[in-house]
Structure 1
Amino acid sequence: MRGREGKGIFLLGGEQRKIRMEKRTRRAYVAVMDTPTRHIAADPVTAASGTTTAPGTALRPDDPRLALVRAACDTLRQRAEPVPLAELAEAAGLSPSHFQRVFTRLVGVSPRAYQQACREQRLRGALERGVPVAEAIYEAGFGSPSRVYEDAHGMLGMTPARYRKGAPGRQLAVAAAQTSLGWLVMAATEDGVCAIDIGDDREALLADLQRRFPGAELHTPSDAVRQWLGTVVAFVEHGGAHPALPLDVRGTAFQHAVWSALRELPPGTTLGYAQLAARIGRPSAVRAVAAACARNPVAVVVPCHRVLGRDGALTGYRWGVDRKAELLRREAARMPIG
């Protein structure tokens, strides 16, 4: 794919061009999981022996807990029906509560959320292969089509039938810039930003965009989109007011409520999932709030990095836990004193 560089911002060249990129394997940013909802790693705990996971999560390669959690992940990926926590814990030789803590600590999400993410990934893969919608739903492990249709915009960003066709005719402007946190790729419609991703490999990020919108038509970014990208880059590098950009993101009413609440958090502040649930008037929906944060398609602008786990622990972040830590560090350092 040809492009041109200008003022540090990569702009896709040509007009009304469909994406024609070679699909490459994403080079994983070193973290326990890339994301619990879009890219379930083949071995999500391998990186737990690295050095860039959340504080307290790095483990020695010979730590027996790695093998236990890896085996549980294999079970959750392979089984279509829900796997009880008690069954996983018994296989690991741990109590259910202890196993839940160990698994969540290493993988970044609970076993239940991990299996749900596996189902969603299977559904996307089946639809991308052209499998009929009803067959794809059952192949993915969903017991009822109604569950998928109720949350289709949260899982897919559109209806299953439209996703299967590759969102034909959707007009997207795409631009990217290299930052100190890696490449930042933005996709936008004329109504607003619909995706922002951060990663080490620009081509991998663009290929992922192709996978999500295979039938979309790409256009050279307008001056407005270039300005939006520049605003986000400036905030990442230098701070200032939070980017108040227009959004054009697909999701359920609940997810939009969570994302809107996140955008009201000023830089330098953090809160827990329970606090966020209370903010939107759904104090008992802590798990659903965590899932909405995980499905956030717009990095930085919808600041899900400001949500922490219990006791202030860093939890899974689809763009890398160390990036989350660095964003929080920068925002805290830029807070006014007094």
Structure 2
Amino acid sequence: MRNTVADQARQYETVARAIAFIRSHARRQPTLNEISDSLGLSEFHLQRMFSEWAGVSPKRFLQYVTKQYAKQALRESADVLSVTLDTGLSSPGRLHDLMVTCEAMSPGEIKTGGAGLEIGFGAAPTPFGNALIAWTPRGICHLGFVEDAAMANAVAGLQQDWPAATLIQDRQRALQLAAEIFHAGPSTQALHLMLRGSNFQIKVWEALLSVAPGEMVSYTQLAQRTGVPKARRSVATAIAKNSIALLIPCHRVIRESGEIGSYRWGSDRKTALLAWEAAQAAR
């Protein structure tokens, strides 16, 4: 029987701890026995949990979190990028084959702080921990991973981002959206996003949508895709401002060295996202 999203959320907690151990001992490449011992689990339990969560064995999954794999992914992305630029086409990749459409807020709408706007919000489990999801009649405007103890602060932060808007809690709708976002198979259900940012930031976020699941790009490569090859620093700043995790896949941008780099919702989670997507793409 396929795991529910809630099951995957619980499994992710163990996966995150395993990834943290692996990253802190990466130079000596810890064995499966060492990793399971650090978690207080048997090798069998760890093997089963990884296979249920990622669909691949721990050994295969751990290959996806190495620097060597990341550097190879960057080289492959460079090859894809050259073809993309030559043909004028963008990658068709979308998270789990979902159709994602975006609508940008006007500067005037941003200036009013959401006056007259009703924003629904709620917490929901995901395969990468709990998340706070917020939406308007025009689309999802926020998706962020949040630890349970920090949920109240996250909601307060959402209100600060939209000071003149009315927030309406709706956990059932949040659960429905989480199910749509993390649906594992192809879907014709379009997900609409409402983006709140400068023209340049939106341009960067739209370029991120061309980075397919299982693919990684460097900041320089993303700047090329954005059409501003010399604006690497500005591109990095725009990535940091992204408030819609996963659907605007800023986690797929890593350093040229192959290092995972920082992430608004934690570098261990970023590593888990990349490895999980690589496993799904390989399957």
Equivalent AA in structure 1 for residue 177 of structure 2: W
Equivalent residue runs for 1:180-191 within 5 Å: 180-191=127-138
Equivalent AA in structure 2 for residue 300 of structure 1: L
Does the Cα contact within 8 Å between 2:124 and 2:171 map onto a contact in 1?
no
Deviations 1:251-302 (A, max 9, x none): 1221111111111211100000100111121101111111111111100100
Distance in 2 of aligned mates of 1:178 and 1:328:
19
- 1:295 to 1:168, Cα distance in 2 relative to 1, 3 A: same
Name the SS of the counterpart of 1:245 in structure 2: strand
Does the Cα contact within 8 Å between 2:122 and 2:171 map onto a contact in 1?
no
Q: Which residue of 2 aligns with 1:158?
A: 110
Does the Cα contact within 8 Å between 1:175 and 1:185 map onto a contact in 2?
yes
Equivalent AA in structure 2 for residue 231 of structure 1: E
TM-score by length of 1: 0.48
Compute the displacement of 1:180 (Å): 4.1
Equivalent residue pairs, number: 186
The range that moved more, 200-209 or 324-333, is 200-209
- Structure of greater relative contact order (alpha carbons < 8 Å, 6+ residues apart): 2
- 1:244 to 1:329, Cα distance in 2 relative to 1, 3 A: farther
Of the candidates 242, 249, 263, which is equivalent to residue 317 of structure 1?
263
Q: Which residue of 2 aligns with 1:216?
A: 165
Equivalent AA in structure 2 for residue 168 of structure 1: A
Compute the displacement of 1:222 (Å): 10
Q: Which residue of 1 aligns with 2:140?
A: 193
Of the candidates 170, 177, 182, which is equivalent to residue 117 of structure 2?
170
Name the SS of the counterpart of 1:326 in structure 2: helix
Q: Which residue of 2 aligns with 1:293?
A: 239
Equivalent residue runs for 1:52-63 within 5 Å: 52=20, 55=23
Q: Which residue of 1 aligns with 2:197?
A: 251
In terms of fraction of residues, the more helix-rich structure is 2
Equivalent AA in structure 2 for residue 172 of structure 1: I
Equivalent residue runs for 1:79-90 within 5 Å: none
Equivalent AA in structure 1 for residue 236 of structure 2: A
Distance in 1 of aligned mates of 2:263 and 2:22:
10
TM-score by length of 2: 0.57
Equivalent AA in structure 2 for residue 174 of structure 1: F
Does the Cα contact within 8 Å between 1:53 and 1:322 map onto a contact in 2?
no
Identity over aligned pairs, percent? 35
Compute the displacement of 1:175 (Å): 2.3
Answer yes or no: is 1:277 the counterpart of 2:223: yes
Does the Cα contact within 8 Å between 1:185 and 1:205 map onto a contact in 2?
yes
Of the candidates 174, 179, 196, which is equivalent to residue 126 of structure 2?
179
Q: Which residue of 2 aligns with 1:336?
A: 282
- 1:240 to 1:332, Cα distance in 2 relative to 1, 3 A: farther
Name the SS of the counterpart of 1:247 in structure 2: strand
C-alpha RMSD of matched pairs (Å):
3.4
Compute the displacement of 1:220 (Å): 5.4
Does the Cα contact within 8 Å between 2:128 and 2:269 map onto a contact in 1?
yes
Name the SS of the counterpart of 2:192 in structure 1: coil
Unmatched runs of 5 consecutive residues or more in structure 2 = 7-18, 27-105
- 1:308 to 1:57, Cα distance in 2 relative to 1, 3 A: farther
Distance in 2 of aligned mates of 1:276 and 1:317:
16
